[in-house]
Amino acid sequence: MSTPAGQGPQPPSGRAATAPGRLTLLPAVDVAGGQAVRLVQGAAGTETGYGDPLDRAPEEVARDVTKNLVSADIARNVYGVVLTGRGHVDADATRAERAAQIAARLQRGRPYEEFEAEWSQRKPPEEILEFFGSWPDGAVVNPLIRM
């Protein structure tokens, strides 16, 4: 959306501005002076976060379940939070669940050198190599652009 030279932001019209093949600009978002606003929404209506889900405060996870932002299954399987039948945090069960999830991670884990040695030997599927080159040197197999 552009603003005519010398004019400030235009007030929202109450309708979204749309055009075929273009993005929709919602009226609640002001864009002025060549600036843009980027709105990002994480999965299930939650804000995108960083860090280990097991470090999230159990009470916050319970609140998200109450608000139907995540399910009780996600609370347990992703965040390690066990809820009672009434939606309250079961602190002892949550500690045990989180400890079990950490133990399972450690069981699956392996030293980086071991992982890298196996990974670098894995050959991509044959059907995609024609687009990305030969294995393992990446030499061109079929040029994608012909001149």
For 90-146, the pLDDT digits (tens) are: 999 999 999 999 999 999 988 999 988 888 777 888 888 777 778 888 787 777 666
For the full predicted model, state whether its pTM sits above 0.85.
no
Give the model's pLDDT for residue 52: 93
SS3 17: strand
CA distance 58 to 96: 13
Beta carbons within 10 angstroms of residue 129's beta carbon: 15
Beta bridge partners of 25: 17
* DSSP designation for 21: T
State yes or no: pLDDT of 16 exceeds 60: no
State yes or no: pLDDT of 14 exceeds 50: no
Tokens of 28: 């609640």
Give the model's pLDDT for residue 118: 83
